[in-house]
């Protein structure tokens, strides 16, 4: 079980780290908001402990960024007198908060509660860059744009491509997956064309690798 601690006070950081390791958690950490997001993407932690008062990029923004694409539990570490921020954090989607100073036992108890609550639910969203596929609603969601809806076939295709990240999928593999009853290249060609039009405004596009197949990749800007 991996914990990301986002906290710029190194002393507190050390205490937390020590305690949680002793409890059997694997601990990674970041000292500012930017590093937090990088670590989050790189390590994909199971739970996040988030200080709100951070250099570079404040905690609320970090929380917001994470929630755009992930359901990972977030516990806010707040100081007294920052109630408004805590409320805002919970609104944005944090799962709980503890007020400093707190005891290690208090924190781990809180973590367990949150993990238990989250543990029962939620299939994961698929995301690539700023774009997220929401399997529960069959929508492709983006930061600053309306979500995109799909027809059943289109959805199968984009889901298949998303699952495979930026890897190229051979044409025949795709056909077999989407038309189990038997499909053909012309049908796929057409489907790709339609899907491309739908996600034209998104930050990802369907790249074709001649002679091999297709891949969903991030648009660079």
Partner DNA sequence: TGGGGTGGTCACAAAGCGGTCACAGAATCA
Partner DNA sequence: TGATTCTGTGACCGCTTTGTGACCACCCCA
Binding piece for a second copy, criterion CB under 8 A, among 45-53, 130-138, 172-180, 198-206: 130-138
Does residue 136 interact with a second copy by CB under 8 A?
yes
Which strands, in side-by-side order, build the sheet including 96-100?
Answer: 26-30, 2-6, 47-51, 74-79, 96-100
Work out how close the CB of 217 gets to a second copy at its nearest, in angstroms, rounded to a whole number.
8
Among 26, 38, 151, 163, binds a second copy (CB under 8 A): 151
Instruction: Give CA separation, 105 vs 20, 46, 144, 172, 208, in Å.
Output: 10, 19, 40, 55, 54
Residue 104 to residues 77, 109, 116, 125, 162: CA-CA distances in angstroms? Answer: 12, 8, 18, 32, 40
Q: Which of 46, 194, 205, 180 is nearest to 116 (CA)?
A: 46
Scan residues 67-126 and list those touching DNA (CB under 7 A).
none
Does residue 139 interact with DNA by CB under 7 A? no
Please report whether residue 153 would count as binding DNA according to CB under 7 A.
yes
Using rule CB under 7 A, residue 193 touches DNA? yes
Please give the residues from 83 up to 112 whose contact with a second copy meets the rule CB under 8 A. 83-84, 86-87, 90-91, 96-99, 101, 103-105, 109-110
Cis peptide before 16 (omega within 30 of 0): no
Binding site partner of 166, from DNA, a second copy, none, Cβ cut-off 5-8 A by kind:
a second copy
Residue 12 binds which entry of DNA, a second copy, none, with Cβ cut-offs from 5 to 8 Å by kind?
A: a second copy
| 103 contact, one of a second copy, DNA, none, CB 5-8 Å limit per kind | a second copy
Contacts of 137 (CB under 8 A, 6+ apart): 147
196 binds, among DNA, a second copy, none (CB under 5 to 8 A by kind): DNA
Q: Which of 34, 64, 138, 198 binds a second copy (CB under 8 A)?
A: 138
Binding site for a second copy (CB under 8 A): 11-12, 14-15, 18-19, 80, 83-84, 86-87, 90-91, 96-99, 101, 103-105, 109-110, 113-114, 117, 136-138, 149, 151-152, 155, 166-168, 207, 209-212, 215, 217
Binding site for DNA (CB under 7 A): 149-154, 171, 179, 183-187, 189-194, 196, 208, 210-212
């Amino acid at each position: 079980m991996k914990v990301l601690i986002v906290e710029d006070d190194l002393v507190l950081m050390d205490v937390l780290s020590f305690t949680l390791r002793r409890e059997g958690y694997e601990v990674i950490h970041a000292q500012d908001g930017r590093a937090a997001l990088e670590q989050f993407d790189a390590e994909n932690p199971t739970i996040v402990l988030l200080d709100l008062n951070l250099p570079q990029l404040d905690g609320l923004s970090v929380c917001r960024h994470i929630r755009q694409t992930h359901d990972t539990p977030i516990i806010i570490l707040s100081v007294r007198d920052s109630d408004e921020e805590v409320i805002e954090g919970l609104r944005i989607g944090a799962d709980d908060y503890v007020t400093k100073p707190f005891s290690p036992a208090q924190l781990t108890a809180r973590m367990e509660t949150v993990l238990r609550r989250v543990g029962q639910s939620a299939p994961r969203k698929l995301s690539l860059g700023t774009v997220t596929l929401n399997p529960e609603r069959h929508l492709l969601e983006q930061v600053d744009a309306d979500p995109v809806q799909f027809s059943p076939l289109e959805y199968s295709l984009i889901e298949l491509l998303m699952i495979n990240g930026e890897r190229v999928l051979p044409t025949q593999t795709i056909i077999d997956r989407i038309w189990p009853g038997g499909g053909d290249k012309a049908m796929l060609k057409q489907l790709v064309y339609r899907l491309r039009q739908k996600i034209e405004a998104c930050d990802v596009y369907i790249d074709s690798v001649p002679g091999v197949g297709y891949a969903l990749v991030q648009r660079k800007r």
